[in-house]
Structure 1
Amino acid sequence: MILGGILAVVAGAFIGLQNIFNRHLNEYVTGWIATTFVLITGSIASLLFGLILDGMDVFDFSGMKVSYWFFGLVGIGVIYCMMQAMKRLGPTKAVLIGVIAQLIFSLIFDVTGFLVLPQVNLKWVDILGVVLIIIGLLIFNMKSKVQTNK
């Protein structure tokens, strides 16, 4: 449980860094080229790390469903939409809204058992947590507007 939490925090830090890098990259090339560049460099790095850590087992696709080959296409939407959102909102607001959307959709996917996930029972504290995060975002945005008006 502790290792999972640590890995989630590290992933969050990587996402924050990646978003900033993507935004800077997007200043020099179009969003589509930036997305392509990020996915290609990420794929190459991932393959190299996989080979180093897992050896040739990295190529064992036995038992994998054909539909899983297309799930990487979702990454195109993630990267492109986040770069465009940061261009319009700035990194902090774009990431905050993205995290809230991720939380809400993950909660919906867990509750409905979407894509054969184990179905989770929704508790009132889950809804309260999401509502509190949304209220925090609204307060954050309100604070930014007040500072801009001064």
Structure 2
Amino acid sequence: MILGLMLAVLAGSLVSLQTVFNSKVNERTGSWATTTLVLGMGFLASLTISLLVEGKQTFALQNMHPWYWVSGMIGVGVVICLVQGMKLLGPTYAISIVLTAQLSFALLWDSLGWLGLETVPFTSNKLIGVLVIVAGIVLFKFGGRQGAEPSAAKAPQGLPD
């Protein structure tokens, strides 16, 4: 269980880091070029590592429904939406909304047993958990003092260009 928690935390940090990098690439190119670069480099990296670790087993796709293959196309939507969301909302607010939506839809799919998932009972505790996260996002976005804009000298510095 500890390993699973550590991997989940690592995945969350990597998603946030990748989103920042994607945003920086998008400042110099466009959204589609960013998506092509990100997913293309990801393909090359995953193919190389898979071939090194699994060899020919990489291509053993027994008993897989062909419609599962659309996952890569879904990834295009993920990258495009994240890049545009960050441009419009900023990194923290955009990622907060993305993670809340991800949790909400995972709860829905688990509860309904969609896409071949084992049905997990929906409980009020799960709903309260999602609502607490949504309340946190609302507080984050609107809970600051009115008119308290940080000065340019105090603004946090991003990654170097």
Q: What TM-score comes out, normalization by structure 2 length?
A: 0.88
In the alignment, what sits opposite 2:149?
Answer: 148
Q: CA 1:21 to 1:145, structure 2 compared with 1: closer, same or farther past 3 Å?
A: farther
The alignment partner of 2:28 has SS state of: coil
**Aligned-partner Cα distance in 2 for 1:62–1:18:** 32
Cα deviation digits, residues 40-75 of structure 1 (max 9, x gap): 000000011111221221111122111122221100
Structure with more helix by fraction:
1
In the alignment, what sits opposite 1:128?
Answer: 128
In the alignment, what sits opposite 2:99?
Answer: 99
In the alignment, what sits opposite 2:85?
Answer: 85
Runs of at least 5 residues in structure 2 that lack an aligned partner in the other structure: 152-161
In the alignment, what sits opposite 2:139?
Answer: 139
Aligned residues: percent identity? Answer: 39
Q: CA 1:29 to 1:145, structure 2 compared with 1: closer, same or farther past 3 Å?
A: farther
Coordinate RMSD, CA, aligned: 1.5
The alignment partner of 1:148 has SS state of: coil
In the alignment, what sits opposite 2:156?
Answer: none
The alignment partner of 1:67 has SS state of: helix
The alignment partner of 1:37 has SS state of: helix
**Aligned-partner Cα distance in 1 for 2:112–2:26:** 36
Q: CA 1:145 to 1:107, structure 2 compared with 1: closer, same or farther past 3 Å?
A: farther
Aligned pair count reads 150
Paired AA for residue 139 in structure 1 = L
In the alignment, what sits opposite 1:13?
Answer: 13
The alignment partner of 1:118 has SS state of: coil
In the alignment, what sits opposite 2:66?
Answer: 66
**Aligned-partner Cα distance in 2 for 1:33–1:67:** 26
**Aligned-partner Cα distance in 1 for 2:134–2:140:** 10
Q: CA 1:54 to 1:143, structure 2 compared with 1: closer, same or farther past 3 Å?
A: same
Q: What TM-score comes out, normalization by structure 1 length?
A: 0.94
**Aligned-partner Cα distance in 2 for 1:20–1:100:** 18
Cα deviation digits, residues 65-119 of structure 1 (max 9, x gap): 1112222110011000000000011111000000000011111111111111111
